[in-house]
């Protein structure tokens, strides 16, 4: 009886382990409106932090296991998350992911006139430039961006030096798992390539499991300017958060 029980336990263990091992998932992404294949769709495994893009036929392959969560995004289409099933892994190429186009309401656009001449070299000099200033602090590997030059810019930076621990600890201390993902994301060239082409923070929010308002608040507390927070692509935002996190660890060690 004991031998039978041991055999069953071993069989169940092997079955469970084999079901959880990574496999190649083959699938296709199409436009839900006309069933046409969609190329260059971003596909990210949120569980393993690995990403790919679809080919000209809308097809892709990515390493995954059952219960992994895949994130699909494409400009102008609603992003979706799909849970990987055993059937998706077993029947290669049988899964079709459908994306739905977003409907945008056009807003009123106000154009500010400039005295343009039609000559690029001259007109480029007439466009107002709003520089962002970044201050470097002794003992830290990175600097602080203080936005446009203003009377409170330097004091804002110094305030972060003399009172750095509390707000950064509140931000990063509550999300250690998400912050550990930063290093993995920073080292993955494919993820960095995908994020470099994005400005909507959707993929970044899913990868870090934080809201858009949280990302903006983190960068604001880390003394990044509103201009940077608004205009930077997702890769620049990722690097900025990572720099702030590394800074937090340095300051935490110094405080101890």
pLDDT recorded at residue 7: 47
**Among 155, 160, 149, which residue's Cα sits nearest to residue 219?**
160
In this structure, the answer to whether residues 43 and 130 fall within a common structural domain is no
pLDDT of 157: 46
Report pLDDT for 41. 95
177 and 219 share a domain? Answer: yes
- The answer as to whether 199 is a domain residue is yes
Nearest CA to 64 among 131, 19, 115, 117? 19
126 and 250 part of one domain: yes
What's the pLDDT at 122? 64
One domain, residues 29 and 91: yes
Q: Domain check: are 128 and 176 in the same one?
A: yes
Q: Are residues 157 and 200 in the same domain?
A: yes
Enter the pTM of the model: 0.66
| Measured distance CA(210)–CA(244) in Å, rounded | 16
Same domain, 130 and 228: yes
Residues in the chain, pLDDT under 70:
1-20, 104-176, 251-256
Q: Are residues 191 and 77 in the same domain?
A: no
Considering only CA atoms, which of 49, 28, 25, 10 is closest in space to residue 203?
49
Task: Note down the domain range covering 146.
Answer: 120-255
239 shares a domain with 128: yes
Residue 154 shares a structural domain with residue 250: yes
């Amino acid at each position: 009886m004991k031998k039978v029980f041991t055999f069953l336990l071993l069989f169940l263990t092997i079955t469970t382990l084999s079901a959880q091992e990574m496999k190649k998932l083959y699938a296709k992404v199409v436009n839900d409106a006309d069933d046409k294949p969609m190329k260059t769709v971003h596909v990210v495994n949120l569980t393993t932090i690995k990403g790919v893009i679809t080919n000209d036929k809308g097809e892709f392959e990515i390493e995954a296991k059952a219960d992994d969560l895949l994130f699909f995004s494409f400009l102008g289409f609603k992003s979706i998350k799909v849970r990987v099933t055993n059937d998706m892994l077993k029947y290669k190429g049988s899964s079709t992911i459908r994306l739905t186009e977003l409907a945008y309401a056009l807003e009123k656009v106000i154009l500010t006139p400039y005295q343009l001449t039609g000559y690029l070299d001259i007109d480029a000099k007439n466009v107002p430039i709003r520089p962002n200033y970044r201050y470097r602090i002794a003992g830290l590997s990175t600097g602080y961006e203080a936005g446009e030059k203003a009377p409170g810019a330097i004091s804002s930076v110094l305030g972060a030096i003399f009172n750095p621990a509390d707000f950064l600890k509140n931000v990063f201390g509550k999300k250690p798992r998400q912050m550990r993902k930063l290093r993995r994301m920073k080292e993955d060239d494919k993820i960095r390539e995908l994020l470099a082409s994005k400005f909507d923070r959707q993929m970044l929010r899913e990868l870090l499991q934080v809201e858009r308002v949280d990302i903006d608040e983190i960068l604001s507390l880390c003394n990044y300017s509103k201009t940077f927070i608004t205009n930077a692509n997702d890769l620049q935002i990722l690097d900025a958060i990572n720099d702030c996190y590394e800074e937090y660890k340095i300051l935490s060690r110094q405080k101890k």
